[in-house]
Structure 1
Amino acid sequence: MGLFYGGAPCSSAPKDGGRSMYPGRMDDVDPKLSRLLLAGSVLGAALNLASSVRTRGPRRAAGLFALGVGLPAVGELLATGPLGLLRHRTRPRVANVPVAVLLGWYCATNGSLAVAEKALDALHLEDATRERLLPPGAALVGTSLDLVLDPAGLDAGLWEWSGDGSYAAEVAGANGRNGVPLVNYAGWLLLVGGVASAHNRTFAESRPVGRLPALLLLPPYLAAVAWAVRRGKVRYVLYSALFPVALAAGGETRR
């Protein structure tokens, strides 16, 4: 369930030849990289929140922020704690979850929701149909984005999975484990879709949707695309094609 925001390094982290995943916390990434990712996530979250307040109103914006951080936090705590699925390698961390990751989840859920809202607007659907399709649409957009983000972040050493995964199986983490487990993408579908669904049920949305949160997903996406091109893994860009297609489709709407 790893996530980076604010730009991803395009070089891979040194591997340790399959060392234990929990070797004493001395194998975190360079502190400068942690600070860079934290700064990017803070800036991204601030811009997302400001845009959300302006377009959705303070109450709806606060609710979406709470959901966009809170629900993924539960997933991250389970994944890094009782389930033992992964370990993050950036700091600062709260209960094993980096602050940058929590803020990045808010940016990703808010941005995915904005992309889906705009794309569905372009289809000129009835309101009831649009509202019904919005949560799964946002979930698919966010998961599509992570089809290129997660392999890039794994290769950069931002996190490591406790076991091998079947997706991007040739990409090795810092602990020597290869690939991204499919449970990661099940988590993305559930968390992004859950945030969108809970927000829709709690707050009846009637205001125009801002485009800035959608555009703020471009820096991490383009950084991951640059990684894929540099590492000769362009197929992951193709796998994540739904994100740029939906973003472009929504760009034609003006609500």
Structure 2
Amino acid sequence: MRASLRNYDGVWYPESVALFIREHKAGREPMETIRIHYALFNQPDQPTRLTPKDIGIEAGANVHFWDENHKPIEMMTWDGEKPVPVEEFERRLSAGEVRIGPGLLRIQAKHAAEQAAAYARQAQTALQQAESAEAGADASVTRDSFSKAPPDRIDSLFEQYTRWFMARYRLDDEQTQKAWVICRESEARARGLVARHRREIVELDTRLKEASSSRAGDADETRARLNARRAELLEPIVRLFEQEFKPRLERLLTRAQRERARTSSSPAP
């Protein structure tokens, strides 16, 4: 994100905000630019405290909380009235109790269309890889993969599995586009879940590294306890991977693709 500030009535406030994501033109150009043409502050009829609702933030938007040192504390999701835990919003969204705002839906649709066009160009490469008997053979993604991956690489396991899946089942262009959309949506959710516990995960990894080099008598017990806590924090992501992401990919397949893969020699993750 990049912002330029302007002084409105003695208050510095963004005049424009440019949003960048790596999937849009490799992050070189903004996916969206928000421009503020006019702003009023410290007016008698204005509330003493602003909330995301007051500035047009729609339900489904992520709300980040930072400490006084500008370090991330946690991330929650705006439900239209208040910030709630990411898992709670996902549950209520599935139950039909909340809806993602129309503006966010338009952004998601635009993003998905751009991704689909870009990923379609990768389809031929994936199909060529599938011709190799070893295509994706080293792409095994298991529960253990999440327990070992550093926080910044956890979401990449979804792409790793998606590439293996496309190669193993020889997806056509339409299936490939849909698979990439599923992958990116799942990656985004995984990043949100990681963000909530990033500080603790990083601290656990540091302590695990120290315990691995320790010769103390209780080092093994310490490592087991730290690994158990790390696995507990990552369990929602593992459930997302196993119970939602993989089944969604499986539903893309035809009977012929399943049968061909069943008789092939390429091992499954």
Question: TM-score by structure 1 length?
Answer: 0.30
Larger RCO (CA within 8 A; separation ≥ 6): 1
Greater strand percent: which structure?
2
